[in-house]
A and B are shown apart, each in its own frame.
Chain A
Amino acid sequence: MMAEMTVERPVDAATTAAGDGRRTTDEALRCEGLSVAYGEKQALAPCDMTFAPSTVTALIGPSGCGKSTFLRCLNLMNREIANCHVGGHIWFHGQDALAPGCDVYDLRRCIGMVFQQPNPFPLSIYDNVAYGPRRHRRLSRAQLDEIVERSLRRVGLFDEVKDELKKSGLALSGGQQQRLCIARTLAVDPEVLLMDEPTSALDPISTKMVEGLMRDLARDHTVIVVTHNMQQAERVSNRTAFFYLGELVEVGPTKELFSHPRERRTQDYLSGRFS
């Protein structure tokens, strides 16, 4: 169709088996001068950032610093908010996701999102995971079963729920719900996973499980996670970006940023002078 440019997914991404690093270039996603405004109010000053494949990038900063806003831009979730204006470019597979002709739905399938509050649909566990694939493809029962099982195994939930796949997703515990949501996202096979404070509503044990999952997923996905918790950023991420007052202050390898921050503001934040 004329106005529909779809984001082409490279053949290797679709054909290589999971686990061995699906991309060879060092750029999965790149933002260029990305800025956000709600009506008149600027929420994020223009910033540039590149995300490498098979890495975890943590976005940290105090509340209201723009990190969640930034994350939600990456798969255009803020298109659903009235009077939100996004400027700049988001390069994904050589195409600008913010260009007028680019297809939001296609982009969101390649760049999945996990939310702060676990938000399973009021459907059965099985239907939750099968939701995305069912919408996007015509699948046989067996294919669907296979996708559901694989996705649930991937998040370590399958053995816990395999006998009650028909049970409502809302009946699970908070940690299980969040893993179910991750499985639901994985079922549509995204390349990039955006996570918006995915553990802030969870207990410590579930948090630990989800953190392990993030590291594990980073073997074949690009993971970008917003977190309040600096220890979490240190534990799970390869790179960290620090946001402050709607501005990207600095970004670098996690170890470096935490031990030798270049910016004074980063240093102050990390040492707990403000939060």
Chain B
Amino acid sequence: MPNQDAMTREDEGLRLRGARRADRAATIVLGALVAIVCALVAALVFYVLSRGGAKLFDLSFLTGRPQQFKAGGGIGPELFNSFYLLFLTLLISLPLSMGAAIFLTQYAPAGPVTTAVKTAIETLSSLPSIVVGLFGMLVFVLFFGWGFSIISGALALTIFNVPILVRVMQQALEAVPQGRRDSSLALGLTRWETTIHVLIPSAIPAIVTGVVLSAGRVFGEAATLIYTAGQSAPALDFTNVDLTSPTCPWNVFRPAETLAVHIWKINSEGVVPDLAVVSAGSAAVLVACVLVFNILARVLGRALERKVTAA
């Protein structure tokens, strides 16, 4: 400043010192905030795992039958139902979302069609899961008359899962360098061949990571299921292979309460005498499974990445 007097120079000095002090204070405050958040999350997970931790290795709990009015119930059928539902859901939703993702990234003509598909997926991804569950009840349970059943639950979970998977796959496919795609097309391969032989192999690490992460979310989902897969778990007989029998584990038309639904149900009904123990144990099993999915997603993704880049 050409006509800067002593007053403003002093003011400038103060401002500078204030700015520096604010900078340092902000760094400290934000650091403390992040530390607190990390500590809270760690405490939360530790709390869940430690409270029910003993049950994680208790075979009679993991395989036992649930009890409604007595203490000492297990979660055997629920655990099986959770995995079976997850498997069926992935079986249906993987091809569907792969198709939609390939359409969106490779074929979609710019224009109203693509916009419609994108809007639909966006809408689906922000729908409350309870609304998805109610829609599932309306269509699969009542309209198709499948009742509270595994198939109804798996289809409802598919609706819940598809937008997540489509987004993951779309991002993975878009991340493949354009040059790789162009060079394949330049060799005279069709778009479909390029997709199958070039794009998907390059994108597979990211896709696997995303799919396994989404599996964790499906595994813990309950709101979608309470009115589709039902809230009761009939005893399962693993020697029964009659697919129409309600005790056959593989029968897709039997009702199937999952682990997450079980936690919700026993807590809202509150009649099981050892409610606290069972729900703590179930929660620990649930969280442990989800953590395993998370770690698996990372490890698998990294291993595949290494294989793809080295090959």
A, B in one complex: yes
Chain B CB within 8 A of A203 CB: no
Chain B CB within 8 A of A1 CB: yes
Q: How far is the CA of A119 from the CA of B74 in the complex (A)?
A: 64
B3, B15, B17: the one contacting A137 at CB < 8 Å is B15
Q: How far is the CA of A18 from the CA of B4 in the complex (A)?
A: 13
Given contacts A14-B9, A189-B1, contact A106 B17 (CB under 8 A): no
- Assess whether A138 is in contact with B15, with CB atoms less than 8 Å apart: yes
- Assess whether A136 is in contact with B4, with CB atoms less than 8 Å apart: no
- Assess whether B16 is in contact with A136, with CB atoms less than 8 Å apart: yes
Central interface residue in B11, B13, B15, B16, by most chain A CB within 10 Å: B16
Chain A CB within 8 A of B177 CB: no
Given contacts A15-B4, A18-B2, contact A138 B11 (CB under 8 A): yes
Given contacts A136-B12, A137-B15, contact A17 B2 (CB under 8 A): yes
Chain B CB within 8 A of A141 CB: no
Chain B CB within 8 A of A264 CB: no
Chain A CB within 8 A of B181 CB: no
Chain B CB within 8 A of A4 CB: yes
Contacts of B15 in A (CB 8 A): 135-138
Contacts of A105 in B (CB 8 A): 16, 19-20
Taking the nearest CB of chain A, how far is it from the CB of B3, in angstroms?
8
Q: How far is the CA of A147 from the CA of B16 in the complex (A)?
A: 19
- Assess whether B11 is in contact with A14, with CB atoms less than 8 Å apart: no
- Assess whether A4 is in contact with B17, with CB atoms less than 8 Å apart: yes
- The secondary structure that dominates the B interface is helix
Chain A CB within 8 A of B115 CB: no
- Assess whether B20 is in contact with A137, with CB atoms less than 8 Å apart: no
Chain B residues 1-50 with CB under 8 Å of chain A are 1-4, 8-9, 11-13, 15-17, 19-20
Q: How far is the CA of A4 from the CA of B14 in the complex (A)?
A: 13
- Assess whether B8 is in contact with A137, with CB atoms less than 8 Å apart: yes
Taking the nearest CB of chain A, how far is it from the CB of B192, in angstroms?
41
Q: How far is the CA of A4 from the CA of B18 in the complex (A)?
A: 12
Taking the nearest CB of chain A, how far is it from the CB of B21, in angstroms?
9
Chain A residues 95-120 with CB under 8 Å of chain B are 103, 105-106
- Assess whether A135 is in contact with B2, with CB atoms less than 8 Å apart: no
Q: How far is the CA of A5 from the CA of B1 in the complex (A)?
A: 22
Contacts of A4 in B (CB 8 A): 17, 20
In the complex, given contacts A6-B13, A105-B19, A138-B15, what are 15 additional A-B residue pairs having Cβ atoms less than 8 angstroms apart? A1-B17, A4-B17, A6-B16, A14-B9, A15-B3, A16-B2, A17-B2, A105-B16, A105-B20, A135-B15, A137-B8, A137-B12, A137-B15, A147-B1, A189-B1
Chain B contact residues, CB within 8 Å of chain A: 1-4, 8-9, 11-13, 15-17, 19-20
The 4 closest A-B pairs by CB, nearest first: A17-B2, A137-B12, A14-B4, A138-B11
* 17 A-B contact pairs sorted by A residue (CB < 8 Å): A6-B13, A14-B1, A14-B4, A16-B2, A17-B2, A18-B2, A105-B20, A106-B16, A135-B15, A135-B19, A136-B12, A136-B15, A136-B19, A137-B11, A138-B11, A147-B1, A189-B1
Chain A contact residues, CB within 8 Å of chain B: 1, 4, 6, 14-18, 103, 105-106, 135-138, 147, 189
